[in-house]
Amino acid sequence: MMIHPATVHFAMVLPVVASAFGVAYLINRKEIMSKIAARTTLVAALAMIGVWYTGSQAGPLIYNYLSEAGKHELLEHKQLGLYLAIAMSIIALLQMVGCRLKKFGLEALAIVLLIGAMFTTFLQGKHGGEIVYDHGKPFQMEQLTNYLNNDDDLGMADDVDSAIDLIKKETATINKKTTAKIQNKKVVEKEEEE
Asked if the structure places residue 146 within a domain, the reply is no
Asked if the structure places residue 177 within a domain, the reply is yes
Are residue 161 and residue 77 in the same domain, yes or no?
A: no
pLDDT band (50, 70, 90) for residue 113: very high
Are residue 161 and residue 72 in the same domain, yes or no?
A: no
Q: Are the C-beta atoms of residues 55 and 78 closer than 8 Å to each other? A: yes
Are residue 82 and residue 160 in the same domain, yes or no?
A: no
Predicted local confidence at residue 22, as pLDDT:
96
Asked if the structure places residue 140 within a domain, the reply is no
Are residue 39 and residue 71 in the same domain, yes or no?
A: yes
One-letter amino acid identity for 52?
W
Q: Residue 14: give the domain boundaries.
A: 4-135
Are residue 74 and residue 128 in the same domain, yes or no?
A: yes
One-letter amino acid identity for 27?
I
Are residue 83 and residue 169 in the same domain, yes or no?
A: no
Mean predicted confidence (pLDDT) in 106-121: 97
Answer whether residue 185 shows pLDDT above 70.
no
Asked if the structure places residue 45 within a domain, the reply is yes
Using one digit for the tens of pLDDT, what is the confidence trace for 49-72?
999 999 998 888 888 777 788 889
Are residue 33 and residue 70 in the same domain, yes or no?
A: yes
CA distance linking residue 40 with residue 37, whole number of Å: 5
CA 102 to chain CA centroid, Å, is 35
Cα–Cα distances (Å) from 45 to 3, 33, 102, 142, in that order, read: 18, 18, 21, 39
Are residue 189 and residue 121 in the same domain, yes or no?
A: no
